[in-house]
């Protein structure tokens, strides 16, 4: 999920479109809402990279064959997307992870739900001083993000790679106090966005995929260790307000976003490994 700050999108236009939704017809399948005609665009909010890029690929190359019209609204401030989905200004969105959505729903009495997982922006361990994880030694400094969700991801990656050892009773979202064995390493926290620019100050640092790319680091080539996309709990997904989950247009988009064509597009467009396909049913 990209973290940037400014709204571009035409919310007023999206609201007008949403207000116009409606031609009613009886569905043949009770589990699929076909009340919205194929001529009515599905308005989807997204952050620009890679979410809007993927949606625009679908809009141009795949949606016409399915008689699906997409209206992609790009947001620079991701904090505005779920509220616009909740109030039906947007029909759907594509920008976030489950952990972020669960937190937002809890704090805002929301009922936005995942539909299908699409991709992962993997977190990785990077270093300007070492070429492999095995070179890390006692006394080395390791930078990790200071915010709880990203710090937990970082610590789980370090634990998986044997760099540290988390306590057996560590919670689902572990913090620095949940490290059972630092193996002589100095674990230092900093803002997630600051780790790539200050990487030379550490012996190694765990950096989010989007910040790694911004810092001219290739997850595929430069990382010492990288999160796997398979069954990742950090997949970015298509989401809707619960009332729209069975909208036929949403189901069409979900199918297209997890097609072989989109998989090939992601693998070709993001050859540096910054974005990895991670198709599965979201829950």
What lies within 8 Å, CB to CB, of 106 at 6+ separation is: none
The pLDDT tens digits for 50-90 are 999 999 999 999 999 999 999 999 998 989 999 999 999 99
Over 50: is that where the pLDDT of 273 sits? yes
Nearest to 87 by CA among 19, 165, 162: 19
Nearest to 87 by CA among 72, 115, 56, 108: 108
Paired strand residues for 110: none
Nearest to 14 by CA among 45, 38, 35: 45
CATH number assigned to the domain comprising residue 74:
3.40.190.10
Number of residues in the chain: 283
Total domains, the chain: 2
Kindly state whether residues 50 and 73 are assigned to the same domain: yes
- What is the domain range of residue 84? 11-122+232-281
CB 74 within 8 A of CB 9: yes
Kindly state whether residues 220 and 128 are assigned to the same domain: yes
Kindly state whether residues 236 and 219 are assigned to the same domain: no
SS3 for 24?
coil
Q: Name the pTM for this structure.
A: 0.74
CA–chain centroid gap for 227, Å, is 13
Q: Quote the pLDDT of residue 232.
A: 87
CA distance 71 to 96: 19
Nearest to 61 by CA among 248, 210, 259: 259
SS3 for 126?
strand
Q: What is the mean pLDDT of residues 22-26?
A: 34
């Amino acid at each position: 999920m990209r973290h940037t700050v400014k709204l571009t999108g035409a919310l007023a236009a999206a609201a007008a479109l949403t207000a116009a939704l409606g031609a009613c017809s009886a569905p043949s399948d009770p589990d699929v809402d076909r009340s919205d005609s194929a001529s009515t665009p599905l308005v989807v909010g997204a952050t620009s990279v890679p979410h809007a890029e993927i949606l625009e690929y679908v809009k141009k190359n795949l949606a016409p064959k399915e008689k699906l019209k997409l209206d992609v609204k790009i947001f620079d401030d991701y904090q505005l997307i779920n509220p616009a989905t909740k109030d039906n200004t947007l029909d759907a969105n594509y920008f976030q992870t489950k952990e972020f959505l669960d937190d937002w729903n809890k704090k805002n009495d929301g009922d936005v739900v995942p539909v299908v997982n699409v991709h992962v922006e993997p977190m990785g361990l990077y270093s300007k001083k070492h070429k492999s994880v095995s070179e890390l030694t006692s006394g080395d400094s390791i930078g990790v993000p200071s915010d709880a969700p990203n710090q937990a991801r970082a610590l789980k990656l370090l634990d998986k790679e044997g760099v540290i050892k988390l306590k057996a009773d560590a919670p689902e979202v572990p913090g620095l106090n949940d490290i059972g064995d630092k193996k002589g390493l100095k674990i230092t926290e900093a803002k997630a966005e600051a780790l790539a620019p200050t990487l030379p100050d550490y012996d190694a640092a765990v950096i989010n995929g989007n910040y790694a790319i911004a810092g001219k680091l290739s997850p595929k080539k430069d990382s010492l260790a990288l999160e796997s996309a398979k069954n990742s709990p950090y997949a970015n997904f298509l989401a809707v307000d619960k009332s729209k989950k069975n909208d036929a247009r949403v189901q069409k988009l979900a199918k297209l976003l997890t097609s072989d064509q989109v998989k090939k597009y992601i693998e070709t467009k993001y050859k540096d490994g910054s974005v990895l396909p991670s198709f599965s049913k979201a829950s």
